[in-house]
Structure 1
Amino acid sequence: MNRRDFFKASLLTTGSVALLGTNLAQAFAATDYGLSKGLGSELKQVASLRWLSNAIAVTSTGRNFVGLPRWPTNEKTPSVAELLPDGTLKPFPGGSWNEWQPGQPGDDAFVLINTVHIFDDDTLWVVDQGDPKLDRKAQKILQFDTKTGKLLKKITFDEHVLPKGGNINDLRLDSKYAYFTDSGLGGIIYTDLESGKSWRRLGNHPSVKAKLERPAMDETGTVLQKDDGSPKVVNSDPIELSPDGKWLYYQTLSGPMYRVPTASLRDEKLSEQALGQQVEFVYDTPALSGTAIDNKGNIYMAEAQRPRVIMLTPDGDLKVIVEDDRIWGPDALFISHQRELYIPCPQTARLAYNRGPGGKDLVQRPYKIYKVKLPDYAGDREPVPPVSQKA
């Protein structure tokens, strides 16, 4: 077994999942478990925004781009924008892309942005979850040139790869493949960036399905609910690619974390059952609303029920990177070329539409984005890893 394996890793086989204690997630959220604190990292505010931002991506030259989802109370957002040095937002790329309205087609417009990301070539990748009322092409992955605003690539999925009810949540990529989580139905999707062909894997595996005994909760331990009172279910959500490109890490919102070999994931001859037997349990993480990974394989984890970001090392140790009452409700993390960890705080669990029948909005506005310098012992920004060899 590769020495980079986490010390708590164990094989998870289909049909033999070790269910965790009912109150384990709550216990983790309320306990330090020996985590080291006081690392001296200073939290700095990056932005104070009118619109909710759940993601930020930074170019090598320091340009900031934010994702502004059109969630309830934020319907008039421009969806994607450049955060200018004076704190104002400039819609990106501009024009009809940022001006979508309900009832309009969504093929060439931002409908419901879930995240943005920038990799080593400084292009901007955008995940648009679309609208169930529109053609499935409204749910799409877009790549833009940040210098010109030109659309470079659009990825859409047919009904076999993304069935009805599926929601693309996040993405990571290497030099040839893009990997996505489906938080709607649960599953991993990957796309060959050269051919444009996509595949769906692990759609029925327990590792991608939210566990009923670990419901999504806010910081008070209140279970998040839909308008009809049923619990909010978020299947496979955060995703990370190891620095060598050989492992894909993922988990449902409430955890725990698993990983699967990317070569096996892309092996079309490998059955779903055989692939499922290669899925490994990584760590009994708390509920996570965002993650990032550095070039040493340290995984940074934004806790959904604590105002902090913790780090899981390849040796299985946990460290607190930052804990501060200003970062309740953090989301998608991003590591810049300057070794700064960006932390947007959309406070998703405080939004009224996540709090059941008659839910009250508890969001503290304006919406904030923060950053913190990574400690010296941590790694640097993860480069886009080399293409893993096919099995």
Structure 2
Amino acid sequence: MGVMKQNQPHAFTKRGLRRIAIAVFTGFVGVCGHPVSSHAQTIRIEATTNAIDWNAVALAGGHVFVSGPRWTGFSGPAVGLLTKSKEIEPFPDADWNGWKPGRNATHRFVSVNALHVAPDGTLWVVDTGTPSFGGAPIPEGAKLVRIDPATGHVLRIYPLDPDIAQAGSYIDDIRFNGMHAYLTDAGKAALIVLDIKTGQARRVLDNDASTRARTDRPIIMDGHVVESHLHQPLLVNADPLEVSPDGKWLYFGPLEGPWSQVPTALLDDPNVSSTDLSAAVQPWADLPPIGGSAMDTAGNLYFTNLKDNGVYLRDVSGKITRLLSDLRLHWADAPCLAPDGRLWLPAAQLDRLPMFHQGHSDIQQPFLLVSIHPHAGQVKPRR
């Protein structure tokens, strides 16, 4: 598979960029008028917006970055930088955020589903290349974009060719391990293994039981099953993933759970057969439907439980503890651990979008970006 590099890096500048006002609050959060739980004092609202249904946040180079997929229907940039003046600026520039139907997508974001900071500090953007939910990736649309977060220079583009991002694919999230990156395909169930140096990518565990959503584990929110169509429960294939601190295991699963584990040495070896790789997959954790996850250097897993608007901790022994539950954390999506130890969470409310809510919106604006101290406000472990 070919790899494209930027001959002329895109520098991040303020001139000519569309800015979207964003209110930022600190301190006591009850002033926002949202329902307050018994653990409200543990939540700090970092930002709010009406312009982006953000489902990803990343902290890198002293900056905060956010993104939201195009199919949610909001007007903000695909990838935004939160400025010191409390605005969202398109990142790395306006042109990268200026894709429209008919425009070339090679150097523009089509629909971003994930942001992640690699071990070297660079920001990686996962572009599904699908303008509509459930649609096919457009030509040159599906890609990974590696960016210097301090300057906005695009360092490299990794195209995901049609044999990787296939019809029905939804490239979901990314994690790193040495010279390899692993991605999940939540649409056409599979994992994707990327050689970071060569740019070569491979699909593995295609339609495997470990990557495929099960019909007996529905996503339940507000007491109702989330549906993609009338009487058709939403099924999300391989979605969350994490690499063990020693780099020896990849943990992954459908959004609905359960999670599995597989040795990274086998994932990285293109000579391992699909049969042998599938046989090496083992159960790891029976987690409920989650919005997103983050793992710290000790191997503790932080995840958001969609059913109860909760944030949970699974420690290295397997014990699960609820840190808090709050109505404002409705479909809290991919969290991010900050250098100071706080856990940042974008509350996306995806199930309240018209496509999942009988054709009408139940979104409660503004969208919230919050942070918590993950070791505060713990309650007893779940039995």
TM over 0.5: yes
Q: What CA deviation, in whole Å up to 9, does each residue of 1:195-214 have, x standing for no partner?
A: 11111110031010011112
Match of 2:162 among 144, 154, 159: 159
1:72 positional shift: 3.4
Deviates more, 1:213-222 or 1:242-251: 213-222
Deviations, residues 286-326 of structure 1 (Å, cap 9, x unaligned): 10110000011011111111111101112110011222222
Larger relative contact order (Cα-Cα within 8 Å, sequence gap ≥ 6): 1
Q: Structure 1 residues 193 and 92 mapped into 2: Cα distance closer, same or farther (>3 Å)?
A: same
Aligned pair count reads: 337
167, 177, 189: which one pairs with 2:192?
189
Deviates more, 1:338-347 or 1:264-273: 264-273
Name the SS of the counterpart of 2:242 in structure 1: strand
Match of 1:241 in 2: 243
Provide the alpha-carbon RMSD of the alignment.
2.2
**Is 1:105 matched with 2:104?**
yes
Alignment map for 1:147-226 (pairs within 5 Å) = 147-226=150-229
Partners in 1 of 2:161 and 2:126 — Cα distance?
16
Residue 148 of structure 2 is aligned to residue 145 of structure 1: yes
Question: Equivalent residues in 2 for 1:306-317 (5 A)?
Answer: 306-317=308-319
1:341 aligns with 2:343: yes
Instruction: Report the residue type matching 1:365 in the other structure.
Output: Q
Tell me, in whole angstroms, the C-alpha distance in 1 between the residues paired with 2:316 and 2:156.
34
SS in 2 for 1:166: coil
> Per-residue CA shift, 1:159-206, capped at 9, x if unaligned?
333322111100001231111000011111011111111111100310
* Structure 2 letter corresponding to 1:250: F
Which is worse superposed, 124-133 or 183-192?
124-133
The aligned residue for residue 381 of structure 2 is none
- Structure 1 residue 146: Cα displacement: 1.5
Equivalence for 1:49: 49
The alignment partner of 1:349 has SS state of: helix
1:60 Cα deviation (Å)?
5.0
Pair 280,354 (structure 1): closer, same or farther in 2 beyond 3 Å: same
Q: Displacement of 1:135 after TM fit?
A: 3.8
* Mean CA deviation greater in 322-331 or 360-369: 322-331
Equivalent residue letter for 1:90: E
* Runs of 4+ off more than 4 Å: 38-41
Matches within 5 A, 1:239-388: 239-356=241-358, 359-375=359-375
Following the alignment from structure 2 to structure 1, what is the Cα–Cα distance between the partners of residues 218 and 327? 23
CA distance in 2, matches of 1:134, 1:323: 36
| CA deviations over 1:240-295 (Å, ceiling 9, x no partner) | 11111111111111111111111011222221111111111112111011000001
- Paired with 1:217 and 1:129, the residues of 2 have a C-alpha distance of 25
Q: Tell me if structure 1 keeps the 8 A contact 2:90–2:97.
A: yes
Aligned counterpart, 2:87: 88
Cα distance, 1:94 vs structure 2: 1.1
Whole-angstrom distance in 2 between the partners of 1:103 and 1:159: 19
* Contact preservation (8 Å) 1:45, 1:371: yes
Distance 1:219 1:265 in 2: 38
| Deviates further, 126-135 or 238-247 | 126-135
C-alpha deviation, 1:126, in angstroms? 0.5
AA aligned to 2:86 is: G
TM-superposed CA distance for 1:354, in Å, is 1.5
Give CA-to-partner distance per residue, 1:107-165, whole Å, 9 cap, x none: 11111111111234332110111135664420111011112211111112233333221
Paired AA for residue 57 in structure 1: A
Give the Cα–Cα distance (whole angstroms) in 2 for the partners of residues 225 and 163 of structure 1: 20
Cα distance, 1:229 vs structure 2: 5.3
CA distance in 1 between partners of 2:216 and 2:136 (Å):
32
Residue in 2 aligned with 1:68? 68
Matching residue's letter, 1:223: V
Q: Distance in 2 between matches of 1:223 and 1:79?
A: 25
> Residue type matched to 1:47 in 2?
A
Q: Is the 8 A contact 2:352 2:362 kept in 1?
A: yes
The structure-2 alpha-carbon separation of the partners of 1:72 and 1:316, relative to structure 1 and needing over 3 Å to count, comes to: closer
What displacement does 1:87 show?
A: 2.2
Structure 1 distance, partners of 2:250, 2:139, is 26
Q: 1:117: which partner in 2?
A: 116
Aligned-partner SS, 1:159: coil
The answer to whether the 8 A contact 2:174-2:184 is kept is: yes
AA aligned to 2:94 is: G
SS in structure 2 at match of 1:171? strand
Displacement of 1:77: 1.9
Q: How far apart are the structure 2 equivalents of 1:327 and 1:134?
A: 30
CA contact (8 A) 1:41 1:374 kept: no
1:18-57 matches, cutoff 5 A = 42-50=42-50, 51-57=52-58
Deviates more, 1:270-279 or 1:339-348: 270-279
Q: Which has the higher strand share?
A: 2
Which residue in the other structure is 1:58 paired with?
59
- Name whichever of 215-224 and 200-209 sits farther off: 215-224
* Percentage of matched positions with identical amino acids: 32
Name the SS for the 1:71 alignment partner.
Answer: helix
